[in-house]
Chains A and B, each alone.
Chain A
Amino acid sequence: MGKFVGALGRKTIRSGNHLMELCALTYRITDIALPLPRIGRALIKRVIVEQVYFTAVQALPVIIPIALIIGSMMIVQFSQLSGKVDLGKLVVLLILREIGPLITAIIVILRSATAVTIEISYMNVLHEIDALEMAGIDPFHVICFPRLVGITTAVVSLIVVFDLMAIIGGYAVVRSTTILPVEGFFNQIVKGVMGADIAVGILKGVFYGITITVTCLYHGLNCKHQITQIPVATSRAAVECLFYCLVINIFISFIYYV
């Protein structure tokens, strides 16, 4: 029993330390970059734009079909309950508040979080970070900060795209391919959507973006010597990102809706 409690205690301390390190990394990135120094601005802006392109624009062909499938699936199922429940309200509740942000986060983790971890790990192991340092450039400035801003912006944008595609696209798909009763769907949505629903979706996006980026950067920057550490770091980063996003999702939902 004593051994079990000891192991549990050590695991808890390790997890606590790990969380503190993630918070410290977040603080360090934001502290050196805010307010954004004049030096290097053009380069940082370019890296941010590139990151938004890789994470958001290139993800559109993936996220749009998924949003359409999930949106039409939900509308088809809920339209079976037509007359018994408020279809628009239900769709808003599920897509805007929960499914939209979460599925978007999962897609970003699968596509970009793994890519960022691998990229940073390689840069570290192959001494590219040293090359930046030898140029007198702080890697936190030109690598970490632009990724934080780029990925966070991308996640928020993708959540908006997902929600719109799931609701409007889903409705269009159901309307054009079935004879299910979905009249008055948009009126119900307009009545059902509240400002808080949109704000919470965006807030979740911001937290997901920060969490995903910082977790990936942390694992990437910790790979220092061996290339064989990279797959392990990538896998850990992806699993951790998913777990943290789920925790953040439930946490924000509790604060706003319970």
Chain B
Amino acid sequence: MEPMPPPIIEITGLALIPPGSTSRYGTNRLTVDTGDVIAIAADTPADSRHLLRVLATLEQPEKGNYRFNGTTVNLKRYRQCLAVKRRIGYVAADSTMISNRTLLENLLFTRFYYENDLTIDIDRTMAALCRDAGLFQNLNLRPSALSDRELLKAVTIREMGKAPEVMLIDRPENFMAPTTNNALFSHLQHMVRSGTAVVFISHNSEMSGLANRRLTLADGRISAGSVSRFGSSKQVMI
């Protein structure tokens, strides 16, 4: 029997104090496993967003030991965090694009950097996603020319292009309909089938129903529970 792979993200002894809040949340162990689809729920949206930023290593928790794929990450070591961030897709209201680059350059920025080549073009999957999201004709425009919705779609495509191990998404219902004829959603389903975990915050019951686990921030605790009302989200997503 093969040993179980370590969780993609594991935080032990976690304590969170969201900025500007007096609430303190804690849990002994929080995990995000391969293929998980997790919905975060909290009393206030800011608290769930803070947890999302902690998972993305964009914020440091008050306390906690962060492990990524079984390797302990020292959140105070900037370069170590960068290597982890690269493997996390983060789509939220505060995830933006570089404003003085075109949309195309933004989508290819990571590849420009890591492949050391400025002549590369977007691959077929990304082109298809852009076409479906109505962004293909805007590829040579600056991000400021896009609407908020288009910008979030573009950020999602950019993050999906990283082939992340976990996607963290804040309110996906704002830019993605949970239907199979939506290319972004279909691609996300495909990613989940390939083992990518998805953690999201949603106020939309249809979207929340896709989760197979739920993280609830309430009464000072972060409690994890499986979702039974809508069935296994793995069944829904796959």
Question: A-side interface residues toward B, CB under 8 Å?
Answer: 38-43, 46, 119, 122-123, 126-128, 130-138, 142
Q: Could you tell me if A41 and B58 are in contact, using CB atoms closer than 8 angstroms? A: no
Q: For B83, what are the chain A residues with a Cβ–Cβ distance below 8 Å? A: 136
Interface size on B, residues (CB 8 A): 29
Q: Which residue of A lies closest to B90 (CB)?
A: A134
Query: Are B113 and A137 in contact, with the CB atoms below 8 A?
Result: yes
* Contacts known (A128-B98, A131-B96); A42 close to B116, Cβ less than 8 A: yes
Tell yes or no: B142 within 8 A of A by CB: no
Interface string of B112-139 (1 = CB under 8 A from A): 1110111000000000000000000000
Is the Cβ of A135 less than 8 Å from the Cβ of B113? yes
A-B contact pairs, 15 of them (CB 8 A): A38-B116, A39-B113, A39-B114, A40-B113, A42-B112, A42-B116, A119-B100, A123-B99, A126-B96, A127-B94, A127-B96, A134-B95, A136-B86, A137-B110, A138-B78
Interface pair A142/B113, CB less than 8 Å apart: yes
The distance in angstroms between the C-alpha atoms of A136 and B78, with both chains bound, is 10
In the assembly, what is the distance between CA of A39 and CA of B83, in Å?
Answer: 14
Q: Which of A40, A126, A132 contacts B116 (CB 8 A)?
A: A40
List B81-119 residues whose CB lies under 8 Å from chain A. Answer: 81-83, 85-88, 90, 94-100, 109-110, 112-114, 116-118
CB distance from B60 to the nearest CB of A (A): 13
Q: Which residues of B contact A (CB under 8 A)?
A: 56, 58, 78-79, 81-83, 85-88, 90, 94-100, 109-110, 112-114, 116-118, 159, 162
In the complex the two chains form, what is the Cα distance from A40 to B159 in whole Å? 19
Whether A128 lies near B113 (C-beta < 8 A) is no
Name the residue among A130, A134, A138 with the largest chain B CB count within 10 angstroms: A134
> Chain A residues near B110 (CB, 8 Å)?
135-137
Across the two chains, which residue of chain B brings its CB closest to A32? Answer: B79
CB-CB under 8 A from B100, the residues of chain A are 119
Point out the residues of chain B lying under 8 angstroms from A133, CB to CB: 58, 81-82, 85
